[in-house]
Copies of this chain bind each other. A is one copy, B any other.
């Protein structure tokens, strides 16, 4: 192990991209991230990638693919652990740079480093456990009549180089070395990341961690590139590159749809895993509202305002039946929002989008403003906002379902539980759906469950949707427009499935079979033999 101790110059962003894990200075216009508090541009400038840079990153990824995917899974596990190691080493510098670029608080960012290294280590364990191979063996039946059955074996192989677009709101856990990259690398796919323009320095520092891990582990350098680009051009070119075989994206619906279109228009279309927009309905059942209206309001406004409301799972819609409980909840929630001092959002542009989105929704006929928070004196100020509307109006006006990415929520008043169900029926697909209950509500909750699970990727009881555990059972996904592919998750160990496809091998001699399918099970992995699952 030749862990390169990071020297001081390595901890300062230099304005480079990485192509085939080598630092490269682009030749395009230099772009800069901004300090969202002051609005000032930050040093250094990042000259952007040329079309040739994009093509070269993708070609190197393709050239590295076969060597990388045929490494022993334990080697890839070690590689992921080394990335985690170097991320941890760079922790303070990463947190400091991310704080400058995103305005997120230090403690939150430190937590994000832990989450990012945690998910890399989780995938290392997944690689060793081996279920991800999807190994299946149907042994030959030479005596079968009327025709003998040949030996057929199945495993999953990685799709190929993956393009990753990081999210603005998790500069570490959902960005350069975030969940998409970790799961793609685990699957055996090289990764080409387009850096998020809002945190270029953080992206560069993270890229250095993987570069060091590539050196430590002797992995082919083409497994990782980081490209810098302005606007949609670089991203569209990346998705259109013939070597790219899948796309992971987290961001706006508009940007997501543009990438989906680019992927569909290729001569050979590829899957796009785009997480786009969700307003995460929270249903407050009558018993819960009667029992603890103010506690619910406090927990709700805390979840709503967390991180300036910049979570994909932010509770942007609250649905409840009218009555004293709801009145008490509303009064307390409105008070809390009134007293909220606001927060700096991730970028001036995101703050502006948020302002426009809240304006659009507030201006819809029949929407009433219940409370507005304060506005901090920063360049990217976000003002908390609580609106209300009647259930019938929500059903009638699809504009009211548009995500306001930030600390804004719409309280939907319903006549009764049937009305609640009607509103749920009218909703688009969501990442999460939450129900708050008291004991008396259990039967009502049971009746709503089939509806909730059809609308969302995760159903919560008496919890708040912000806070996404990285584990084996997590689903961070859901029906359109929450994501472009509800059959998967972008958080948790199941995310590796997105980058694999099954291949069957018929009548191959044992010596030519890939190790997961050889008779003596050299990887000691779970396999399905003639339909029966065997542990190892």
Which residues does A use to contact B, with CB under 8 Å?
66, 70, 125-126, 129, 131, 134, 136-138, 147, 149-150, 152-154, 157, 159-160, 260, 264, 268-269, 271, 428-429, 442, 445-446, 449-450, 453-454, 456-463, 467, 469, 471-475, 477, 479-481, 484-489, 493-494, 500-509, 511-512, 526, 528, 530-533, 535
Contact = CB atoms under 8 A, between A and B. Distances in A.
B533 A469 contact: no
A41 B494 CA distance: 52
A233 to B, nearest CB: 23
Contact of A149 (B160, B469, B489): B469
Given A458-B506, A507-B463, A512 B445 contact: yes
A511 B459 contact: no
A502 B528 contact: no
Contact of A487 (B70, B456, B500): B500
A501 B530 contact: no
Given A445-B512, A512-B445, A531-B493, A473 B507 contact: no
A361 to B, nearest CB: 20
Given A66-B450, A268-B481, A152 B507 contact: no
A152 B432 CA distance: 13
A278 to B, nearest CB: 13
Contacts of A530: 472
9 contacts: A131-B528, A137-B473, A138-B472, A152-B474, A260-B269, A268-B429, A458-B505, A460-B506, A489-B504
A487 B508 CA distance: 22
A480 B268 contact: yes
B458 A504 contact: yes
Contacts of A159: 486-487
A131 B526 CA distance: 13
A486 B473 contact: no
B457 A502 contact: yes
Contacts of A442: 509, 511-512
A70 B503 contact: no
A61 to B, nearest CB: 14
Contacts of A494: 134, 136, 154, 502
Contacts of A506: 458-461, 463
Given A264-B264, A469-B149, A472-B136, A461 B269 contact: no
Given A126-B531, A159-B486, A477-B501, 13 more contacts: A129-B532, A129-B533, A131-B533, A149-B469, A149-B471, A154-B472, A154-B494, A157-B454, A159-B487, A271-B487, A442-B512, A474-B504, A486-B501
A321 B153 CA distance: 29
Contacts of A508: 459, 461
B533 A461 contact: no
B152 A469 contact: yes
A462 to B, nearest CB: 6
Contacts of A532: 129
Contacts of A268: 428-429, 479-481
A453 B508 CA distance: 13
